[in-house]
Amino acid sequence: MNESLQARLEHLESLYSEQEYTVQALNDTVAQQDRDISNLTLSIEQLRDQIKALKTELPGDIGSDNEKPPHY
């Protein structure tokens, strides 16, 4: 194999190696973001449940969202 072809092949192998590293890094990032989104979704659901529970514990009309303030 001549030197030009050998140099070209080495360059392509180098590019492939860099691309493989980049794809793996992106995959790791996406996987971490998926875990983060799942954790955040769970936290939101728990907070929503806590808010519902607190609203049921409020006495009388305090928990009512439809009541207009007295100055209306």
pLDDT at 9: 96
* pLDDT tens digits, 39-63: 999 999 999 999 999 998 887 655 5
Q: Can you give the three-state secondary structure of 2-44, one letter per residue?
A: CHHHHHHHHHHHHHHHHHHHHHHHHHHHHHHHHHHHHHHHHHH
Q: Are 63 and 55 in contact (CB under 8 A)?
A: yes
Provide the pLDDT for residue 60.
Answer: 66
